Every structure is written in structure tokens, then in C-alpha cells.
Amino acid sequence: MSSTPQGTHSLAFRVMRLCNPSFPVDPPFRLDPADLFVGEDMFDDPLVASNLSPLLSTHVSTATDSSDMSFADRYLLHHPSDAMGFSDLLLLPQSFGAIYLGETFCSYISINNSSIFEVKDVIIKAEIQTERERILLLDTSKSPVGSIRAGGHYDFIVEHDVKELGAYTMVCTAWYNDGGERKYLPQFFKFVVANPLSVRTKVRNVKETTYLEACIENHTKSNLYVDQVEFEPAPHWSSTRLKADGLLHPADNLSAGEIVKPPILVRSGGGIHNYLYQIKLSSFGSEQVKAKRSNILGKLQITWRTNLGEPGRLQTQQILGTPMSCQEIELQVLEIPSLINLDRPFSVHLKLTNHTEREMGPFEVWLSQNSPHEEKFVMINGLQTMAVPQVEAFGSTDLHLNLIATKLGVQRISGIMVFDTIEKRTFDPLADVEIFVESD
């Protein structure tokens, strides 16, 4: 990548990208016509080989030459790697190539003196400019380059971790003395950073548990070997990655019997891989209430390597969920007997929780009266109103409610109400619970 300096200058910058070489692969256009009719394993049959030998005598004779790596001659393997079409050479990239988010951009910069005179006291600056910021990569102001002879050059390498999408500009500037005249040389080199992969997420809430689905799709032209996809939960949350064969906690980097954790292959041009995480609250009291009311779940950290081990790393933005409803006073069912008989009393274990920062209560708990359109077959056995003492801030108290069922089959416990006797407030009723009533 190069740019022509404005005006007449003795110096000029050349910017080149440092990339790992790749293995050249035999192109498919060297396909021999005989391969359309003859498979690579057909010569395993002696009868077929003898019938086709007159037609392919020239073809077979050339195959004995180990320097011929055409596709048609790979049925004679001189080395196991021959079948892959790789040669024993490495190929340097012929263009600047694609630059992706999460990679480390490494550039080799050369400032050349194309004049016939020596230049002195050269100060060089290299900066990366994006839409949001400007990052200084090199500054020789405190130790200028003494001189660059005629026809000579001064080279250096700069690196930058690419963390932003969009247009980039590398700004290279030089101040130098040219025959007693102080000159200023600015040059600009532009490139675009693309997204190597996309992350699609879906959040589902099941009672007190949140499930996060993450789908990673490869947008590059090369395979990505994903080392890690780790979910970093927000404060007061904990996460567990779910697998088909059970649970895998984030701390379990290696499974039993593994020395090195194998990477996940996400193929080029749209390959995908899916992950599933279980997210739960890990705090109690006031912190739990704050976490429930917030919709921030956490971030995904993704690391990968390309074919020749070049690393990449991405962090997603905060993944948002649906805030959980958190009432001031909450009534929950802890336990219901597994066996409930007709016309026999049974006890339901409940918990009354105060989610506020102040003491509340005392309370009264009762079963609301039947509505005109619905008849209830589960009722309170005994006193119709239960007194519950005060509950401290962010505290809870357990209570047992005696009930009795008057009809067989699947019935519903509904309409259990909580009333604050001081504030004269009635809170939302307990959610309906289904039970199965049996005969004696």
C-alpha cells in the first residue's frame, strides 16, 4: 500500500502489511479429462487396469514423475500430503488482503530517499485514525533519525489491535532537512476493517432461570478455529455452558482425559456453531433485587485462530435480557405434598419475601371468595385468615397454609391473597398452582 506525496519531496513512504505466508494449492483448472471417466480407485481392480492401460499409457508414464502435481496424477501418491494438493513451497500474499476486527494489524513501513542528496534530522510519526479516535504508533521526536543517504531508506514495524469497524487511515508524517530547508511530508494510507463473524443471540426466561442462545457465523474466506467462547456474566449473575452430554462450567477448561482442549472448526463462507448458556442470580437481598430489575446479562468473549495460527479476539457488546418482575412483597410456593386425598387436609409450605429496604407488615393471608363464574374445589381448612408477623427489610418468613380439596382430579389452588394491615394494601395474589386429588 503506497501513496504519492504532495509536491516535490526527497522522501516517500511505502506501507506494506506483514502477513503469514500460505501453502499454494494446485488450482482445479489443471483437471485432466480422463478424471471425468476414471476414478482414483479404479486401478485397484486388475481387470479394469489392464483394459484401460492402452488408453492411459501416456498418462501413467507421466505420473511417475514426482514433479508433476496435477490433479489427474494424484492417484499415484508418493507422499500422503500429495492427495491434498499442497506443494512444498510457501506463498506470500500478493495484495494488501482483508483486515478483520479482532486481529492485530502489523505493518512494515519504509521511508525512502529517492533524491541524490542526503537528508538529515528526520522526525517520523505514524498514527492510526478511525472515526472515533487517533492512536499514535511511532514518534521519533525525542530521537530523530540522524540522516538517510541518497538512495537509502529507514524501515520500522508498527502494530495495532483492531477494535473498531469501518474506515481506517494510517497517517505517516516526516519532518527533515533537505539542503538546509526544513520540509514537512504527510502521507495517508486508507483501508477498511470488516467483521470476521457475526454473533446472533436469543434470550429466554424460564421462571428464575435465564437461557442464552448464541450463534456464531464465519464471514471470512478461511476457516476459523475457535479456541474459546466464554460468557462473562454481569455482577450478581453466574453462568454455566450447557452441552449435549451434560453441564460444563466456565472453570472446567479441560474435560476429563484431555491434555489440550480441541478448537471448534467454523468453516469459511457462512459456517456456524451454536452455544447455550444457563444464567442464574448469584446474590441475595438488595443486590438480587437490583439485578432482577436490570436487563444487563453480560458479554461474550470469543478467541480464534486462522489456518496458520494467526490469533483473533472479539468481545460483544452487553447482551440484554428482559427485566424480571420484582414486587415489593412476593409470595412463593416452596413445597406441596405429592399425595393429596379427597376431603383430607394437607399443608402447603409458602414463603413471604420482603423486597424493599424497610420493614413491612404485619400481614394477613387468606383465600379470596369464589367468583360468580368459577367454583373453587380447594379451600382453607380452619381459620379463614392467617396472621403473619412483620418481615424485615430484604427478609423472608415461612408459613404453612392448611387446605382441603373437595373434588377428584386435577384442581387449582388459586386466589391466595396477602394484605398489609398497616398500609392497608392488597398485593398481587399467588400464581395458580395445579394439584392432583386422589380418592382414599
Q: Where are the domains of the chain?
A: 11-20+94-194, 28-82, 200-320, 329-438
| Short-list 398, 395, 367, 361, CA closest to 381 | 367
The yes/no answer on whether domain 11-20+94-194 falls in CATH 2.60.40.10 is yes
Q: What is the CATH number of domain 200-320?
A: 2.60.40.1230
Residue type at 331 in one-letter notation = L
**407-416 tens-digit pLDDT:** 899 988 888 8
What pLDDT score was predicted for residue 101?
Answer: 87
Q: What does the alpha-carbon distance between residue 169 and residue 190 come to, in Å, rounded to a whole number?
A: 4
What pLDDT score was predicted for residue 129?
Answer: 92
CATH architecture, domain 329-438: Sandwich (2.60)
**180-226 tens-digit pLDDT:** 788 999 999 888 888 888 899 998 887 778 888 999 999 888 888 89
Q: Which residue has the higher pLDDT, 48 or 423?
A: 423
Instruction: Report the share of the chain in percent with pLDDT over 70.
Output: 71
Do the first three CATH levels of 11-20+94-194 and 329-438 match, i.e. the same topology? Answer: yes
For residue 305, how far is the Cα from the chain centroid? 14
User: At 382, is the pLDDT very low, low, confident or very high (cuts 50, 70, 90)?
Assistant: confident
Contacts (Cβ under 8 Å, ≥6 apart) of 401:
347, 348, 350, 365, 380, 386, 416
What pLDDT score was predicted for residue 392?
Answer: 87
pLDDT at 235 over 70: yes
For residue 426, the number of C-alpha atoms closer than 13 Å in the C-beta half-sphere is 9
Contacts (Cβ under 8 Å, ≥6 apart) of 161:
103, 104, 105
**33-89 tens-digit pLDDT:** 454 444 444 555 555 555 555 544 444 444 444 444 444 554 455 555 555 555 556
